[in-house]
Chains A and B, each alone.
Chain A
C-alpha cells in the first residue's frame, strides 16, 4: 500500500463505501432521516420503499474516541482492515480510491469529505466523474463507563444502476452490507487486539494472501 498520509480523508471513506461492495449510488442520508416516531436509528426501520438501500452498523470498541477517530482520519491505516481497497491517489482536492476486483480489474471512486468534526464524525460523498456514486458517514460517541467508544457506520446506496454497476456487483459477488459489517468488525479487532483475527494455520492461507494470489 502506498503512503497516503497527505491524501486526506475523502477517499478513505469512499474506500470503505466501496469495500462495502461499493457500487453505491448516493441517496443522501439526510433524506432518510425523516419520519419515524420512535428512538431507534432510522436505518433499522422496516422500510417499504425499495429504491434505496441504507445500511448502518454500530460496534463498541474498547479504545478512547480520540484514538479511534485519529486512526480512521489517517487513512493510510484503513486498507489494513478494508479488504477491497488497493490504493489511494491524490487528484487535486479529491482522492481517488482504487478498489480491487477479481481478475486484476479495478474500480475507481473519487470522493470528497463533506463533514469532518474532530473526534466525532466524518461524512463523505462521491463527486462527479466517479465510476460509482456513494455517500456515508462514520460517527464516534463515548460508550457508558469504561466501555470505550461506539462507532457507527452508515452507508446509503442505490442497488447498482446501469450495466457497469451490475457487472461490478457480479464480479464482487458480495453484498455491500456483508462487506461493511466485516470491515467494521475487522476495524474493531485491529484496534482492540492489534491484529486481524485469522484461523488460517499458515500465512499463505490467510485471506489477505489468497486475495493477493488472485490478483497476480
Chain B
C-alpha cells in the first residue's frame, strides 16, 4: 500500500510499504478514506519528539471503511468508522474510569520503558506517533491495523460526509476537552492561545459551553479571522501587548481561564524562548513554552489553566511562583477521545458544532509531503489539510 513515512526532520515521503494484517482477534483493518495532518504531526516533522524512526508511518487522524475484522471485533465489513487517535484497551483501570489516553495495556510492554523513565509512568499508545507511545503505524496510509476495534472506532451513519466527522478522531474532542478542563462558568472570560485547529475548536467549544467572552490570540490574520467568525474577540500578539490587553478586556480582573493550544513550538522572541529554540535544536529537549508562560501570568488568581498543547520534555524558567501564589489549577493531557465521540457526533448531527469551516486544503495522499511542508510554512492560509487516499492526482479541490 501507499503510506506517508517519516525519514528525518523535514523529510517525509509517500512510499510503498507492506499492507497491514489482522494480528490479534480484536483487530480490524480499515481502508482509509480521509486522514488529516495535525499540529502534533508537525512536532514529528520538526524532529522535536523523541522516538520516531525512519520508515514509521505517520498519521493519527483518520477514518474509513472496515475491510477486515478479527474474530472478536464488533465491527462489520463495510461499516464507516472514525478511529480515535488514542489506542485504548477498554479493560484496564484507566479505561474503566474513562481516562482512555492513560490506557495501561495498549503500549506494548517492551516499549513502555522510555516514557516510564521520562515521565515516571509509561504512556498509552497513539497511532502514527513516537515509539514511546507504541510505534503503531498511522493513518496517513491506504490501510491501517486498528487494535481493540471493539472499543475504539465509532460507526458513522451514511448521511454524514467524511469532512464533517473526521475530526472526531482527535482535534474536535481535543478542543472540547480543553474547554471542559477550563471549567467554564457562564460569566467567564476565557483566553485561548493559538488559533490552529485545536485552538479554533476550543474556542467554539468554550462558546457552546456558555463563556461570556472568548479572546483568541495568534499572529496569523486568516486564523484570527476564523476565530472572529466563531464569535471570539482577537488579539494579534505581534502587534499588541497581550497581558496588558487581557487585563483591560477582562475589566482589570484577569481572565478566568486560559487555554494553551500552542504547545512546545510556540513562536515568539522573548529571550528565554530563543534560548529554548537553540536547546531544542541541539537536542537538549527544552520545550518552548512561551505561550504557556504568558498564559500563567495572565490568568486571574484562582483561575484555571488548560493545556491541550503538546509538550514532550522539560522547560526552563517556568513561573512556578505565579502558579502557587495565585492558586491556579492546571489540567492537561492527551485527549480521552473515546469519552467524547458519541456526544460530539450528536452535536455535529444537530448542528451545534461546525467541523468543516477550518479545512483549507484537500489533497490526494500522494501529495502528503507537500501538505506537511505547506502546513508548516504557510500556516496562515493552510489551516487544516485533509488527505484523501482515493482522490485523483490532480487535486479536485
Contact = CB atoms under 8 A, between A and B. Distances in A.
Contact of B18 (A181, A189, A197, A202): A202
A209 to B, nearest CB: 9
Given A60-B93, A62-B93, A199-B111, A194 B25 contact: yes
Contacts of A197: 89, 105-109, 125, 134, 147
A62 B96 contact: yes
B161 interface: no
For the side of the interface on B, what is the size category?
A: 20 to 34
Contact of A195 (B24, B96, B111, B125): B24
Interface string B82-99: 000000011111001000
A124 B92 CA distance: 29
B280 interface: no
Which of A62, A185, A195, A200 has the most C-beta atoms of chain B within 10 angstroms of its own C-beta? A195
Interface in B301-331: none
Main secondary structure of the interface of B (DSSP, over half): loop
A188 B104 contact: yes
Contacts, number: 81
A166 interface: no
B134 A194 contact: no
A206 B26 contact: no
Contacts of B21: 201-203
A203 B23 contact: yes
B333 interface: no
Nearest to A83: B110
B92 A182 contact: no
A194 B19 CA distance: 25
Interface string A66-81: 0000000000000000
Which of A183, A192, A194, A207 has the most C-beta atoms of chain B within 10 angstroms of its own C-beta? A192
A90 interface: no
22 contacts: A62-B93, A147-B93, A182-B110, A183-B109, A188-B92, A192-B89, A192-B91, A194-B25, A195-B24, A195-B25, A196-B108, A197-B89, A197-B105, A197-B108, A197-B147, A198-B24, A200-B23, A201-B57, A201-B137, A201-B145, A202-B18, A202-B20
Interface of A: 60, 62, 147-148, 178, 181-183, 185-186, 188-189, 192-203, 206-207
